[in-house]
Every structure is written in C-alpha cells, then in structure tokens.
C-alpha cells in the first residue's frame, strides 16, 4: 500500500511553539516536489518532545492540509501500549491513511512482548499499520520471525526497517510478503534491489524530487540512472547523520533558507566543525 519516497517530516518550531504556518508550507513543498507520502510525528519530527496535545494537532493539521492528495502515515508509537493505542486511534479518527509505530523503547520487551504490543494495536484499530524497527534508538530489534507473525494481521501492512542490515531485510522478505521500506537513506537502492518498496526518508526533507526520482528510475527498470542517483545522493545521506537526527537536517534546511532550524532540548545546535562538513555536502550536491 505504501511505496516510493515517504518523507519523515520535520516539525517546524518558532519561539518554542509548533509553527503551523511553516508546517503548511512544507506540506505544499512536498506535494509539489513529488513526494509519495508524508509521515509526521516520527523521530525526525521530534515526537519525544511534542506534548500529547501538540502530537495530535500536528497529525490533524497535516491530514487537513494534505486533503487526500498523497497518503499521510502518522507517527503514533510509544513504549506504553495504551498510549500508542490512543494515538493510533486518534490518527485513524483524524483521517490518516496509516500509522507508523515504533518498537517500544527503553523498556526493551521480549519478542513475545513486541508481538503482543503490535497485536493489541492491530486488533483494536482498522488503520493500516507500518511497523518501525530502529534498534539503535530503542534498544530492541524486532526479529524477522516476529515480523512474519505480525504480517498475518490484515492491517499490519509494512515495516520501516532501520536496522541497517540487509540480512534483516532479506530474512523478513524470505518469511512473509510484508512491504519493506528502508529506514536508512544510504541503503534505499540496496534495499530496493532485494525486494523493498521505498523509503521513509530524512534526506527527502532536503531533496524530495531527487529521492523520489531515484526510486522511480529503479521501478521503471532504469538501473543505470538509479545507480548514478544513489552514488550522487550517498554523501548527502551520510551528512544527515553526522549528529543526532534531526539536528543535521534542520540545520541544512536553515542553511538553504527553508526553515529557521529551531530544535527542542535536549537536542541543540550542531558544532561548528560538523556544520562546515554539512555545508560542504550541500555544496557538493549543488544545493548552494
């Protein structure tokens, strides 16, 4: 159901508050630039520092402004199953097309606990669910076998795989036919080549048209164009993670004049050395 270049949308702030005017501008930018779908309130959207009220307002605002032109996959995860269920139900009620649900973080559940967590969401909502595996942030990785068990639920339709492991992706696709989306921008093309269907992308905040075009080239059978796009994009994708995401991407958007770059503590501005490295990557790509 969800394929192509799905942007992991940043949340714009102004003087400590969510900047809904800028949020609307970013949405129009992505629709215009060919982004396949929008995913607000994920890690890149600084969901850990959004209040519950802000989280719901951002989801509702994105759905309202998109107006059905492209799918909205709202971040609704939590390490509290009841809270994740509440947010997922809200996203469904608000009209989101899907829910991106991270594996519970910090409390490090077992594989059976992970299964029961997502099972509860699948059984108590009808919205399509995208599992989100990012062990570097959560401290736990959902196993391919658990993914296969969860894929039996009709509304668990995809997984955002951000383990950085092609073995993990291969194992998942060998066990079930769930849609796999890359959660690592530098691995978009490799994951497509073994059966992935797209990406939930950080770098698409910067170069949405180019990210989407690379994926389209792959699916159109133009491997040479896709390969060249991958190698050109690769240094920029790595620059997006020289510090904790979304610090680099918001800084890049500020450098490009698209955003004020404001973050919420405990995230803070980049070091000057890393900022120079980021600026060089933007310049080398031809954005400056």
Confidence at 49, pLDDT banded by 50, 70, 90: very high
Q: Is residue 211 part of a domain?
A: yes
pLDDT at 137 over 80: yes
> Does residue 160 carry a catalytic annotation?
yes
Domain extent at residue 14: 4-221
Residue 4 — very low, low, confident or very high, per pLDDT cuts 50/70/90? very high
Structure confidence by residue, pLDDT tens digits, 166-217: 999 999 999 999 999 999 999 999 999 999 999 999 999 999 999 999 999 9
Q: Which of the 8 DSSP states describes residue 72?
A: B
pLDDT of 254 reads: 97
Asked, for residue 269, whether it belongs to a domain, the answer is no
Does any domain span residue 244? no
Residue count (the chain): 288
Residue 161: the pLDDT is 97
Which band of pLDDT confidence, cut at 50, 70 and 90, is reported for residue 113? very high
pLDDT at residue 90 greater than cutoff 80? yes
- pLDDT at 1 exceeding the cut of 80: no
> Rounded to whole angstroms, how far apart are CA atoms 93 and 125?
10
- Decide: 148 and 172 in contact? Cβ < 8 Å: yes
| Count of the separate structural domains present in the chain | 1
Contact 159, 128 (CB under 8 A): no
Query: Contact, 252 vs 233, CB < 8 A?
Result: no
Q: Is residue 78 part of a domain?
A: yes
pLDDT band at 106, cuts 50/70/90? very high
**DSSP H or E segment with residue 5:** strand 4-8
CATH of the domain at 144: 3.20.20.70
User: Cα(84)–Cα(96) distance, rounded to whole angstroms?
Assistant: 15
Neighbours of 108 (CB within 10 A): 13
Q: Are 194 and 211 in contact (CB under 8 A)?
A: no
> Is residue 233 one of the residues assigned to a domain?
no
Give bridge partners of residue 100 from the DSSP assignment.
Answer: 75, 130
**Is 202 a domain residue?**
yes
* Residue 287, both tokens: 């954005």
Active-site entry in 22, 160, 197, 250: 160
Confidence of residue 55 (pLDDT cuts 50, 70, 90): very high
Q: For residue 272, tell me if it sits in a domain.
A: no
**Whether residue 43 has pLDDT greater than 90:** yes
Question: Does the annotation count 22 as an active-site position?
Answer: no
Mean pLDDT of 26-44: 97
Which long-range contacts does 45-54 make (Cβ < 8 Å, 24+ apart)?
45/8, 45/9, 45/10, 45/11, 45/75, 45/246, 46/10, 46/11, 46/246, 46/263, 46/264, 46/267, 47/75, 47/77, 49/264, 49/265, 49/267, 50/11, 50/18, 54/18
Query: For the residues 116-126, what does the mean pLDDT come to?
Result: 97
Q: What pLDDT does 107 receive?
A: 92
Q: Going by C-beta distance under 8 Å and a sequence separation of 6 or more, which residues neighbour residue 179?
A: 1, 2, 3, 157, 158, 159, 197
Within-domain flag for 134: yes
pLDDT value, residue 42: 95
Q: How many whole angstroms separate alpha carbon 185 and alpha carbon 234?
A: 8
- Give the end-to-end CA distance of the chain in Å, rounded to a whole number: 36
**pLDDT over 80 (residue 19):** yes
Give which of 215, 183, 253 is closest to 36, Cα–Cα.
215
pLDDT at 105: 93
Q: Which of 22, 115, 132, 250 is catalytic?
A: 132
Alpha helices in the chain (DSSP H): 20-33, 52-66, 81-94, 111-124, 135-138, 144-150, 166-175, 188-193, 208-219, 223-239, 247-255, 272-285
pLDDT in tens, 242-287: 999 999 999 999 999 999 999 999 999 999 999 999 999 999 999 9
Number of helices (H), then strands (E), belonging to the chain: the values are: 12, 10
């Amino acid at each position: 159901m969800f394929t192509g270049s799905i942007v992991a949308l940043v949340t714009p702030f102004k003087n400590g508050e969510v900047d809904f005017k800028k949020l609307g501008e970013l949405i129009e930018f992505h629709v215009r630039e060919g982004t396949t779908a929008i995913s607000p309130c994920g890690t890149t959207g600084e969901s850990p520092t959004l209040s519950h009220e802000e989280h719901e307002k951002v989801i509702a605002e994105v759905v309202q402004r998109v107006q059905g032109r492209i799918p909205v996959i709202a971040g609704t995860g939590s390490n509290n199953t009841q809270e994740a269920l509440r947010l997922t139900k809200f996203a469904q009620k608000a009209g989101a097309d899907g829910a991106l649900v991270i594996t519970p973080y910090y409390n490090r559940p077992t594989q059976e606990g992970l299964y029961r967590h997502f099972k509860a969401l699948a059984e108590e909502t009808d919205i399509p669910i995208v599992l989100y595996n990012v062990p570097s942030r959560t401290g736990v990785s959902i196993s391919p076998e658990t993914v296969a068990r969860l894929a039996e639920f009709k509304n668990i339709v995809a997984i955002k795989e951000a383990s950085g492991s092609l073995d993990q992706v291969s194992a998942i696709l060998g066990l079930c036919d769930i849609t796999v989306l890359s959660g690592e921008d530098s691995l978009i093309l490799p994951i497509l080549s073994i059966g992935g269907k797209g990406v939930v992308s950080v770098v698409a905040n910067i170069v949405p048209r180019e990210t989407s075009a690379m994926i389209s080239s792959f699916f159109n059978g133009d491997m040479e164009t896709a390969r060249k796009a991958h190698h050109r994009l690769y240094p920029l994708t790595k620059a997006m993670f020289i510090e904790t995401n979304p610090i680099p991407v918001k800084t890049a958007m500020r450098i490009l004049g698209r955003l004020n770059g404001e973050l919420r503590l405990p995230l803070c501005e980049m070091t000057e050395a890393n900022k120079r490295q980021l600026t060089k990557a933007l310049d080398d790509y031809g954005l400056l």
